[in-house]
Amino acid sequence: MSDKFKKIYDESINNPEKFWTDASNDIFWFKKPTKILNKSSPPFYKWFEDGVTNTCYNALDTHIDQGNGKRTALIYDSPITGDKSNFTYEELKAKVSVFAGALQAQGVNKGDRVIIYMPMIPEAVIAMLACARIGAIHSVVFGGFASNELASRIDDSKAKVLVTASCGFEPGRTVEYKPLVDEAVKLAKHKIDKMILFQRKGHEVKLTPSKEVSWEEVVSNAKEIDCVEMNSNEFAYILYTSGTTGTPKGIVRDIGGHIVALKWTMKNIYNIDEGDIWWSASDIGWIVGHSYIVYAPLFKGCTTVLFEGKPVGTPDAGAFWKIISDYKVKSLFTAPTAFRAIKKEDPDGKFFSKYNLSKFESLFLAGERADPDTIKWAENLLKVPVIDHWWQTETSWAISSNCTGIEMMKTKYGSACKAVPGYDVKIIKSDQSLAKPNEMGDIVVKLPLPPGTFPTLWNADQRYKENYMSNYEGYYQTYDAGHIDEDGYIWIMSRTDDIINVAGHRLSTGAIEEVLSEHQSVAECAVLGVADKLKGQLPIGLIVLKAGVDKDNETISKECIKMVREKIGPVAAFKVAIVIKRLPKTRSGKILRGTIRKIADNIEYKIPPTIDDPAILSEIKDDLIKNNILKSG
């Protein structure tokens, strides 16, 4: 490590209370904390426990107090509808204060839960901040999520009010929300008191007067509300992890640590200052949307972009370049899958040359492993640093990254760089011993976790302890697998259950995917282990080609198999690479490897509620049958 980064990192690990006290001095407190870290009941640690603050005050009011009320807080751009709007900090505060009053008028008070089931529109951000203003706990559910999944979240959170819209828009289709919400309300055992619905132009729906009210009506009679004082350890929100079965798993965030950590990250990790234009191309239904569309950029006092569109198809593969050019975006944070989609549609970057990206300084990728080929493609096109960093819903901010605001480090392609200050990351092998450099194992973080991470699960302390804190005593288990090299770089190779065992050899699917991605015709790929009587498991590769490839599929498959055998060796026993049209993914862009594996092994599976298009699973099944991986019938 370089001296500057090493000094800061070492202090965060060796003297965390001083480190985070210093960081906490950068946020607004009604009452500053004197108790920085309570370690009395591990694994339930408490940060800043006697501090008093408010999330919304730190996101909006404090900047107005400092004379920055005229600065643009939020830019909204929807290439699907053509709508665009900007909100200054003063304007956004006024709208949030009124909606906070509207929620209070509907009986929502401090500690009550509010479900937000919205598309990517300003009202979604306003609803989140309004909850924070009055101390209500919001639970954002991805707009368009299945009714039974929404119902389970209503039941688990015991929500008082549900805030929604008449519809959401996807490229080429409209997702009607009201029927989905109506079904969810009917399925839920817990009954909400009121539904507030935002009517989208041209897609208005009929409301039931006693239980349902329009957004326009509730704000027309509402009074502006000031921020409520909140204890640091009270909860800001619940975010249910996607794809849960049975009782959903509600990640909670405590208020004080959340504000301190996220504000610290904007400069130190992303090198974003007050007034900079920042864009996180995600959705508010996911953790990235919570942390880096809404909260962190507003805590920092910069301008955040809210984009209702896709990397391709709204209208073309130049959509991202247009937003960066139009609004002079300094840094973009998105998922690797977005760039793979752009690369697939426009491998030569023809759309890129149409736009002026002179203000653009860096691209950050997270959400799943960024393969070296995609990073190099983006670097060659953008001529700026492209940084793969790693974090989870549970942590709410990066565990490992190139901390560009502290000191830019060299890129190692395939690595998510080094542990961020606050995280003491280790690799533990299956025999419970600590791994040596470059040895594969489970990735864990020594407790206590830094502020802003999850202090427990919603109403499930025991589940929190058993799921995350019990397998390796004194450590948080990330359920990711990989290694740390001799320079301290962390290599996230796969989820723990994506390590495959071929004739006694533990192989990472990520390592094989890395090789396949290097083939000039491959846009994206997934590798999974299928059951084999002789060797336990065998790896198979599913490959999606770039647009315009004219080489035949059989030749490409043979070339890919040869590359894996040359770079990983015969030990991989890699003999099957199937060219397919598309990969099944969640709406956040993660490839559903576990579901594909169950299809291949002929194991019963549930269609994941987060899947982008369920029809892809039938296509995958047909491809597996055609290639003799799965028997028909």
Q: How far apart are CA 145 and CA 180, in angstroms?
A: 8
Residue 389 has pLDDT above 80, yes or no: yes
Report the chain's mean pLDDT, rounded to a whole number: 92
Same domain, 411 and 547: no
Same domain, 563 and 436: no
Which of 77-91, 412-426, 523-537 is least confident?
A: 523-537
Q: Is 351 inside a domain boundary? A: no
Question: What is the SS3 string spanning 517-555?
Answer: HCCCCEEEEEEEEEEECCCEEEEEEEEEECCCCCCCHHH
Q: How far apart are CA 132 and CA 100, in angstroms?
A: 9
Q: How far apart are CA 592 and CA 589, in angstroms?
A: 9
Q: How far apart are CA 166 and CA 216, in angstroms?
A: 13
The CA–CA distances, whole Å, from 606 to 368, 588, 609, 617 equal: 22, 18, 9, 11
Residue 360 has pLDDT above 70, yes or no: yes
Same domain, 73 and 210: yes
Report the alpha-carbon angle 95-100-104, nearest 5: 150
Give the residue carrying structure tokens 């579901």. 595
429 Cβ contact partners less than 8 Å away, ≥ 6 residues apart: 435, 439, 440, 441, 442
b/e per residue 205-215 (b: at least 16 CB within 10 A): bebeeeebbbb
Q: Is 335 inside a domain boundary? A: no
* Domain final residue, candidates 438, 467, 482: 482
**Contact 545/345 with Cβ under 8 angstroms?**
no
pLDDT digit string (tens) for 205-254? Answer: 999 998 999 999 999 989 999 999 999 999 999 999 854 345 689 999 99
Q: Work out whether strand 386-388 and strand 167-170 pair parallel, antiparallel, or are unpaired.
A: unpaired
Q: How far apart are CA 405 and CA 267, in angstroms?
A: 5
Q: How far apart are CA 395 and CA 454, in angstroms?
A: 6
566 Cβ contact partners less than 8 Å away, ≥ 6 residues apart: none
The CA–CA distances, whole Å, from 500 to 370, 443, 528, 531, 533 equal: 20, 16, 8, 10, 14
Residue 633 has pLDDT above 70, yes or no: no
**Contact 131/159 with Cβ under 8 angstroms?**
no
Amino acid at 379: E
pLDDT digit string (tens) for 257-304? Answer: 999 999 999 999 999 999 999 999 999 999 999 999 999 999 999 999
Q: How far apart are CA 592 and CA 46, in angstroms?
A: 35
Give the residue carrying structure tokens 């009010």. 161
Same domain, 431 and 547: no
Residue 530 has pLDDT above 90, yes or no: no
**Contact 215/198 with Cβ under 8 angstroms?**
yes
Amino acid at 563: M
Q: Is 578 inside a domain boundary? A: yes
Q: Is the dihedral of CA 464, 453, 606, 594 positive or negative?
A: negative
Same domain, 463 and 518: no
Distance from chain centroid for Cα 2: 29
- If one compares 100 and 607, the residue with the highest pLDDT of the two is 100
Q: Is 214 inside a domain boundary? A: yes
Q: How far apart are CA 632 and CA 622, in angstroms?
A: 8
The pLDDT of residue 244 is: 37
Element (H, E) at 214: strand 212-214
Element (H, E) at 161: strand 161-165
The pLDDT of residue 243 is: 41
**Contact 584/616 with Cβ under 8 angstroms?**
yes
**Contact 619/630 with Cβ under 8 angstroms?**
no
Confidence category of residue 498, pLDDT binned at 50, 70, 90: low
Amino acid at 355: Y
Amino acid at 163: V
The pLDDT of residue 528 is: 87
pTM of the predicted model, to two decimals? 0.85
Q: How far apart are CA 314 and CA 326, in angstroms?
A: 15
- If one compares 534 and 555, the residue with the highest pLDDT of the two is 555
* Domain final residue, candidates 439, 463, 482: 482
**Contact 582/614 with Cβ under 8 angstroms?**
no
Q: What CATH number is associated with residue 68?
A: 3.40.50.12780
Same domain, 161 and 24: yes
Q: How far apart are CA 438 and CA 360, in angstroms?
A: 35
| Residue 174 burial (C-beta neighbours within 10 Å; 0-12, 13-18, 19+) | middle
Across the chain, how many H-helices and E-strands are there?
A: 20, 31
Q: Is 577 inside a domain boundary? A: yes
Q: What CATH number is associated with residue 593?
A: 3.30.300.30
Please spell the DSSP secondary structure of 322-377, one letter per residue.
HHHHHHT-SEEEE-HHHHHHHHHH-TT-TTGGGS--TT--EEEE-SSPPPHHHHHH
Which of 88-92, 143-147, 215-219 is least confident?
A: 143-147
| Average pLDDT of the residues in 534-541 | 81
| Average pLDDT of the residues in 511-533 | 87
| Average pLDDT of the residues in 163-167 | 97
* Domain final residue, candidates 463, 482, 501: 482
**Contact 425/485 with Cβ under 8 angstroms?**
no
Residue 102 has pLDDT above 70, yes or no: yes
The CA–CA distances, whole Å, from 311 to 39, 63, 386, 593 equal: 44, 32, 17, 22
Report the alpha-carbon angle 542-321-416, nearest 5: 50
Same domain, 113 and 165: yes
Residue 164 has pLDDT above 50, yes or no: yes
Q: Is 256 inside a domain boundary? A: yes
The pLDDT of residue 264 is: 98
Tokens encoding 590: 């993660």
Same domain, 457 and 538: no
Q: Is 104 inside a domain boundary? A: yes
Same domain, 465 and 577: no
| Average pLDDT of the residues in 451-472 | 95
The pLDDT of residue 170 is: 85
Q: Is 359 inside a domain boundary? A: no
Same domain, 472 and 604: no
With both helix axes pointing from N to C terminus, report the angle between 336-345 and 372-382 in degrees, rounded to the nearest 10.
70
Confidence category of residue 8, pLDDT binned at 50, 70, 90: very high
Of the candidates 274, 229, 266, 288, the residue with the CA atom closest to the CA atom of residue 23: 266
Coil, strand or helix at 34:
coil
Same domain, 129 and 166: yes
Same domain, 535 and 428: no
Residue 337 has pLDDT above 90, yes or no: no
pLDDT digit string (tens) for 560-612? Answer: 999 988 887 776 788 899 999 999 887 767 788 888 888 888 888 888 777 77
504 Cβ contact partners less than 8 Å away, ≥ 6 residues apart: 536
Beta bridge partners of 476: 445
Number of domains observed in the structure of the chain: 2
The pLDDT of residue 505 is: 59
Please spell the DSSP secondary structure of 71-114, one letter per residue.
SEEEEEE-TTT--EEEEEHHHHHHHHHHHHHHHHHTT--TT-EE
The pLDDT of residue 123 is: 98
Q: What is the residue range of 41's domain? A: 3-309+389-482
The pLDDT of residue 513 is: 87
The pLDDT of residue 501 is: 64
Residue 379 has pLDDT above 70, yes or no: yes
